Chains A and B, each alone.
Chain A
Amino acid sequence: MSRGNVPIAKPNTGVQAELARGVALGPGLMLAGLALVAFAAFLLSLAVGSVRIPLDEIVGVLLGGEASKTAWTTIVLKFRLPKALTAMLAGAALSVSGLQMQTLFRNPLAGPFVLGISSGASLGVALTVLLAGVAVGLGGSTTLLAGISLAGDTSLALSAIFGSGLVLLLVMAVARRVQSGMTLLILGLMFGYTTSALVSVLIYFSVVERIQAYISWTFGSFGGVTWRQLQVMAPAILLGLAGGHLLMKPLNALLLGETYALSLGLNVRRVRLGIIGSSAVLAGVVTAFCGPIGFLGIAVPHLCRSLLHSSDHRLLMPAVSFMGATLALGADIVAGLPGSQLTLPLNAVTALLGAPVVIWVILRQRNLRQAFAG
């Protein structure tokens, strides 16, 4: 169609364009601010814990120097640095995954685990931990199982990877077939119920020590991830994050709903597979290494929308990554109860601190629709 002979004159957009640039500058600054805060939280998390280490010493260690006390170097490099990196990666991963699910399903209550990823991981871990317990409880062959370190991080991680991977494949297979996102959402929900039923059956027949091991896995922790595990976890999550950022434009189109997205030339099926795939990898990997970390994935997208007053994924994607990293670090710092030898369950902290914040943010909005929007 020819645009040349259009009688409705196209107005000079100089002013408008300038305005748009001015508006774009605000969020740009906001993003830079969020990144800065995330970095500050990172440094803080290295400094505080059961032992307080001065910031300049931390910077020195990070730059390859030695701290004035050798113990400090060990603490920072061996424990706090992998933990902080894990927290940042996990926070960003869960938040991006949550944002993707909320947009894909157009549902403010969606989060990284709506597709049953964490349920799958839980089932994997429960099978490993508790079935061994059942075997012991029934007086079965204990010698064979004694070789497996049940509470060992690696075996737990492996079984969680196996469990969430299985769910991931199942979800992808279903997503390929079903037409509507809503169907998928309900299937994920039902899958969650089924697995938790299986887990409770396992718990019922298990012995106390095994249940204890299982439950402490469900508390979630960033501390159990070693440098060696990070070598697997970090690339997987960075890949997932990159995938999420590549899908910004399709996610914006999906804000209009799948039919409109289709009419805009989007290959909805392929995009949906991409979103579910990257989201499941993110949520699955985090759950496998850190346990089922709740709350962050649902809350961070809401916080970012209301902070940036935007539902544009070109802004939200990086914003939720930074804010997710920051909040995960913050929750980990609080859970570590700085200055004490005690730690709180991470999941308890994320929800206890996060829920009031989200409630406050949502109540500040005029209604939930706008809260979802920001």
Chain B
Amino acid sequence: MSDHIVLRTESLSIGYRRARRDAAVIASGLKFALRPGELVCLLGPNGAGKSTLMRTLARLQPALSGRIWLDERPLEELRPGQLARRLSVVLTDRVDVGAMSGFGLASLGRHPYTGWTGTLNESDERIVQWALHAVRADGLADRLIVEMSDGERQKILIARALAQEPSVMLLDEPTAFLDLPRRVEVMDLLRRLARENGQAVLLSTHDLDLALRNADRLWLLSADGALYDGAPEDLVLSGAFERVFSAEGVSFDRDRGSFHTREESCGLVLLRGEGAAAFWAGRALERIGYAVEEVAQDGRTNGPPLNGAAAADSRFAVRGRQGAVRPERRRPESNADSSVEGVSARGGAIGTVSVCVLDDRPSYMLKVAGGERKFATLDGLTAHLRRTGKGGEAHAKVD
């Protein structure tokens, strides 16, 4: 089943035809394929043409040239009804259907199957029910769309697309207006739908982290029209992210899989401590612009580790604003990231922060050339450092 292909393109050009001028080509020579049961995330900077690509694949706008096959049939040869039974979409369009229940909206997905009045027969009703159940929205069937939250409405729209019983579902930024838990939920839902129903799901998103964690493959569409196609991890390692998202002052951290603004470091701070408190102390120092290097353990257990990155590894470094905390495989003499500024292998540290936890209450000891000072909160520590140690040259003082 996995070598079966539901949608593929050959030298596809997308863009807009313009009156009396050459067509505005957004991307050309695109060749890719979607397989059943896989979740593919389409990422790219604003204006790269994600929506145009989605619309072209859904035949909502014509391709400039090239071919698209859906279920091994040329897309342009499918009749509208045939297309609607193979491919469904969830768009960013605002849906103002008025006094319609969740069931009513989801049942519009049966449109390609019903007769001229649009009346559902028993099997249509069963499929709508199934679709609502599949998106965990059984309880929303009788609620009015206008009374739903954005997340609930998005689920109903996905159920509607599902009720079309398509082999391909295209979703244009389905997580755009949702809060973080809802985004995780929707993404998880889509991955599950792809797995369990054997549908190919293609969605565009700006949510890098969720895409990296959930997609079977990523398509990175760059502003110059190139499409990088591969497993998320392969694309991270191959440097495709840097090429696609390269922008002034922003860099991609391969080790962390996230973007950071490039900024001068205020200097190096040595961090002593372990566990969650030390992890977040490192994050706080990094946030205000210091490079952080953990130097040694003080032997005590500092409370439960907060997450995977902070746990286990006692030796990690935080570097300016370049990279977040990451497990360090550090070779002090030959700095692997020689391009990273503001991090000297050793020495030149302006001070040391020691984290210690007593009775679940962390405290932070700042030791600089001028003396020592203890802080109960990271707010106090960072406020002090911001006040006294601002800029790369000024050294932190203790008053």
| Interface of A toward B, CB cutoff 8 Å | 1-3, 5-11, 13, 16-17, 19-20, 106, 246, 248-249, 252-253, 255-257, 259-260, 262-267, 305, 309-312, 314, 369-370, 372-374
Contact = CB atoms under 8 A, between A and B. Distances in A.
B117 interface: yes
Contacts of A260: 89, 91, 93, 95
A11 B130 contact: yes
Return the 3 tightest CB-CB contacts between A and B, nearest first. A373-B98, A265-B84, A249-B118
B199 A248 contact: no
The dominant DSSP class at the A interface is: loop
A248 B97 contact: no
A249 B118 CA distance: 5
B167 interface: yes
B114 A249 contact: yes
A312 B117 CA distance: 11
B146 interface: yes
Contact of A311 (B100, B112, B126): B100
Contact of B80 (A248, A249, A266, A374): A266
B122 A7 contact: no
Contacts of A310: 99-100
Contacts of A267: 80
Nearest to A370: B146
B146 A252 contact: no
A130 B81 CA distance: 52
**For B89, B96, B199, which residue has the most chain A Cβ atoms within 10 angstroms?**
B96
Contacts of A8: 130, 133-134, 196-197
A314 B117 contact: yes
Contacts, number: 134
A266 B82 CA distance: 11
A120 B17 CA distance: 35
Contacts of A256: 93, 95, 97, 105, 108
Contact of B108 (A252, A370, A374): A252
Nearest to A366: B146
A305 B98 contact: yes
B141 interface: yes
B118 A305 contact: no
B115 to A, nearest CB: 8
B188 interface: no
B89 A309 contact: no
A182 B116 CA distance: 27
A223 B132 CA distance: 54
Contacts of B117: 248-249, 314
Contacts of B196: 6-8
Interface in B143-199: 146, 164-167, 196-199
Nearest to A306: B99
7 contacts: A2-B198, A16-B129, A17-B122, A253-B108, A260-B95, A265-B79, A309-B99
Contact of A374 (B83, B88, B98, B164): B98
B310 interface: no
B238 interface: no
A323 to B, nearest CB: 16
A31 to B, nearest CB: 14
B10 interface: no
A135 to B, nearest CB: 45
Contacts of A253: 108, 111
A265 B83 contact: yes
A177 to B, nearest CB: 12
B129 A11 contact: yes
Contacts of A374: 98-99
A369 B126 contact: no
Given A248-B117, A253-B111, A265 B81 contact: yes
Given A248-B117, A259-B91, A260-B89, A10 B133 contact: yes
Nearest to A103: B98
Nearest to B110: A264
B130 A255 contact: no
Nearest to B71: A1
Contacts of B127: 3, 10
A10 B131 CA distance: 8
B89 A1 contact: no
Interface in B25-60: 36, 58, 60
Interface in B64-90: 79-85, 87-89
Contacts of B141: 16
Contacts of B129: 10-11, 13, 16
Contacts of A248: 117-118
B119 A314 contact: yes
Contacts of B197: 1, 6, 8
A11 B133 contact: yes
A372 B98 CA distance: 7
B103 interface: yes
A265 B108 CA distance: 11
A372 B99 CA distance: 9
Contacts of A246: 116
Given A8-B196, A249-B116, A370 B84 contact: no
Given A263-B91, A369-B98, 11 more contacts: A1-B36, A3-B165, A8-B197, A9-B133, A16-B125, A256-B97, A257-B95, A263-B87, A264-B109, A265-B81, A370-B98
Nearest to B195: A7
A246 to B, nearest CB: 7
B130 A312 contact: no
B133 to A, nearest CB: 6
Contacts of B166: 1
B253 interface: no
